[in-house]
Amino acid sequence: MTMLKWTAFVGLMFSVFLLAACTLPEYVELYNNSSSDISVRFGAGRDARQFELRSKEVARIGPVVFGRGEVVIVRGSTPHTYRPKYSGSRYWTYVGFGPFKSMRVRLQYEENGSVLVLPRDAEFPISPSVEQPPDYPLREAMPSVFQ
C-alpha cells in the first residue's frame, strides 16, 4: 500500500509540474500615442511595475497577470485608473518558441485618455477607428491617487 501511495504522490507532483510548465507568461506592450510623457504603474503591491514612458515610445511590461488589478497612468499631475480586461484571442500574439514562448497583448494610450487594444496583426500606432472588442477602448475606471 505504501508503494501505491508513493506512486500516486509522484504522479500528482509530475502533473502539477507539467501544468505549471505549460502556463505561458503574459506580457503587455504599451504605446504612448499622446503628446505628453506619462508615468505608469501596472499592478499593485510588490508585483507592481512603475516606469516613465515618453511620447511615441513603447514599453514592454511583464511578466504580468493581465486582467487582474489596475493600471494607473499619470499625465501631468492627474492620475487615471484603468482596469484592463481580456480582449479575446484576436488580440493576443504568441511570441518566441519552445520554453521561451510567451503571450503578448499590445495597448495604446491615446491623447484623450482612452486605451486601445491592437489586433494581433496591427502595428503601433493604430487609428482610434480600428474595431475594438467589448470593454474597449478602456476609459478611466475611477479617480485614483498615484502612490
The single residue listed with the C-alpha cell 500516486 is 8
103-136 confidence digits (pLDDT tens): 899 999 999 999 999 999 999 999 999 999 988 9
The pLDDT of residue 14: 57
**pLDDT value at 53 more than 80:** yes
The pLDDT of residue 88: 80
DSSP 111: T
69-80 confidence digits (pLDDT tens): 788 999 988 899
Q: What is the pTM of this model?
A: 0.77
**pLDDT value at 147 more than 50:** no
Give bridge partners of residue 95 from the DSSP assignment.
102
